[in-house]
Structure 1
Amino acid sequence: MSDFEFVVPDFSAVRYPVNVVADMLNVSVPSIKKYEKDMALEVERQTTGVQSRRYSLANIFDIAAHRRENGLIKKLARPVTLTVHVKKGGVAKTTLAVNLAIQLSLAGYKTLLIDNDPQGDATSMLGFDPDLSIAELEEMGQPSSRAVERHFGHLFKFGGAFTGHELNDVIKKPFGENGLHLIPSDESLDDLNVALTNANNSDFRFGLLLEHARLGKLPNCNLADYDFVIFDCPPSSTVASRNALVACDYIVTPVRMDRLSVKGLSRLTQSLSVFEEDYNRAPTPIVVPTMFQKSRLRTQRNLAMLMQHFNTRVTDSRLHHSEDYPKAMDEGYPVSLWKGASPAIRNEFRELATEIIQRIMSDVGEK
């Protein structure tokens, strides 16, 4: 199947009824209407049939930001970096990274998702095309804004190819200013791996950039406003993946409930011990069971094995096997934003995000 046969939604044109918006934000319908009035928010009205409000994604994330500004969410004492990583494919890693970033944004947290995988799956999931140029997109009748011209490496200043572009020239905002922000990726991100290999302190470059950018020390890249930075890494071990692990506070690891996935994850404990010896620090693991099928005996058996190795690091939230995921993907939506998703599936991601926030809040505190 060629690229032009894939469904690519226009996120700016999709509209949601008020009950779905209330469900996405985990508040009541009267609360939505109150926020709308308090904000003097302009919301589209359906004029045919039964008159009703229709909210854009920008509207929804604007309401989330309004809740934050009015003290309706707890704020972290400091910014936090998460790296979604596991050395195995097919475990819903990118699905977890993208939907977690969306849910954190819906909860009112300013979130930056960095696609750290040259395949650019997170980039594609959010409506951008890492494989086609502006000219190719325009020839196909697609907006040029879907093109990816720069990636995370372009924020750096080292080597001949990296001269420190402005953050605004790199970043994408698929759901408006108050939605999650994305630093996209394409296959040229491999050039960053080559450059990092030859750089001084090669494993610490991401961490140094984040530290300086959060303190406002980089004129081209101010990241001071973000509560969460999330790296979505490839399943392979690259210099860029190692950088993301060194830079992060928490490693979020999805694992399917099958024998090989659980057995492979059991090696993570040993890997983190070696990691701590090498770098004098180690990220805290958060292990997320995915594609969960409670009724299957082997699922319970593998979960017990997982708990044996990681115990309290395994989330109480499970992401169950559901046809909603491929259906949402076929229509070009992350499942958290797909109108056809069952409330139960949307709720699973919201509960997971809430649990992760609570775990982090207990570690770092709140303002």
Structure 2
Amino acid sequence: MRVWAVANQKGGVGKTTTSIALAGLLADAGKRVLLVDLDPHGSMTSYFGHDPDALEHSCFDLFLDHGQVAEGLPASLLLPTSHERMALLPSSTALATLERQSPGQSGLGLVIAKSLAQLWQQYDFAIIDSPPLLGVLMVNALAACQQLVIPVQTEFLAVKGLERMVSTLQMINRSRKQALPYSIVPTLFDRRTQASLQTLRTLRNAYPEHLWPAYIPVDTRLRDASRAGQTPSQFDAKSRGVIAYRALLKHLLSQQGVTQVA
């Protein structure tokens, strides 16, 4: 299993859309994909028609036993999505209480890594949607993944959020055996606005080694896909957004030495 996390310490940058779009394209290519929703807001969970306020069981269950994950528990929590080759480990609003519970509890930072270890042979890829703040949930996402994707909205304030995210990553890397590779992905790009153009130039100057050279454009078809509860490629495989995400997927796979997914 290859594990990717999608994270940024600023909300509204396209994390959930990016996670689902990449997962959908991988599933279209025949891969078995696990989506992990670690955001207490549950946007990914809601995307596929599940109510994070009403779910009896969710990712929260994984954190209940002092960092230990009972055998078989992760598999029992899985929910269906719009794609037969994609499953969802759902979020719930109860995850928001973890920050208050985590002080003094050791081992909580590795809960998701332990959970994915139980599902390692069942899926080819796992994609984790992380909350937009540094805490036990983001630490879990970063500890579990082999590749980090950082979506950055092409507007001025988003660059500040990226700076915080890179600082967090540097801190995490000090506790890892190997530095976590990451790709910065410009999102919500609108070439008609100076803000988008200037921000893209800023990103290219400041992060030349880690920036994906292209961008995800503003595309209403992505929003329409979320309303329909389908992956973007299921909803409109020829939309501008899907074409861009397909190029991003190719880039991410090439970084890991994979030339194709089919």
Q: Distance in 2 between matches of 1:291 and 1:329?
A: 15
What corresponds to 1:174 in structure 2? 81
Aligned-CA RMSD value: 2.9
TM-score (norm 1): 0.63
In structure 2, the CA distance between the partners of 1:324 and 1:115, relative to structure 1 (3 Å rule), is: same
1:196 touches 1:240 (CA, 8 Å); kept in 2?
no
Deviation at 1:169? 2.0
What corresponds to 1:327 in structure 2? 224
In structure 2, the CA distance between the partners of 1:357 and 1:208, relative to structure 1 (3 Å rule), is: same
Q: Distance in 2 between matches of 1:98 and 1:331?
A: 13
What are structure 1's unaligned runs of at least 5 residues?
1-78, 133-147, 214-220
1:171-320 alignment runs, 5 A limit: 171-175=78-82, 178-194=84-100, 196-210=102-116, 213=117, 221-320=118-217
| SS at structure 1 position matched to 2:223 | helix
Q: Distance in 2 between matches of 1:198 and 1:164?
A: 24
Deviation at 1:165? 5.1
What corresponds to 1:100 in structure 2? 22
Q: Distance in 2 between matches of 1:205 and 1:327?
A: 34
Q: Distance in 2 between matches of 1:205 and 1:331?
A: 32
Q: Distance in 2 between matches of 1:332 and 1:208?
A: 29
Post-superposition CA distance 1:245-290 (Å, at most 9, x none) = 1221121111111111123313444333222224454321111110
- Matched positions, count: 261
Deviation at 1:95? 1.0
1:130 to 52, 65, 69: 52
1:360 to 232, 244, 256: 256
What corresponds to 1:48 in structure 2? none
Q: Distance in 2 between matches of 1:269 and 1:159?
A: 29
Higher relative contact order (CA 8 A, sep 6+): 2
Q: Distance in 2 between matches of 1:209 and 1:124?
A: 22
What are structure 2's unaligned runs of at least 5 residues?
none
Post-superposition CA distance 1:280-336 (Å, at most 9, x none) = 543211111101123434323211211222213222342101222333334444433
Determine whether 1:154 maps to 2:61: yes
| SS at structure 1 position matched to 2:79 | coil
Q: Distance in 1 between matches of 2:224 and 2:64?
A: 41
In structure 2, the CA distance between the partners of 1:110 and 1:197, relative to structure 1 (3 Å rule), is: farther
1:266 touches 1:309 (CA, 8 Å); kept in 2?
no
Moved more, 119-128 or 165-174: 165-174
Deviation at 1:362? 5.8
What is the aligned-residue identity percentage? 28
Deviation at 1:348? 1.9
Give the letter aligned to residue 136 of structure 2. Answer: V
Q: Distance in 1 between matches of 2:113 and 2:67?
A: 21
What corresponds to 2:247 in structure 1? 351
Q: Distance in 1 between matches of 2:82 and 2:221?
A: 21
Q: Which has the larger radius of gyration?
A: 1
TM-score (norm 2): 0.85
Deviation at 1:171? 0.5
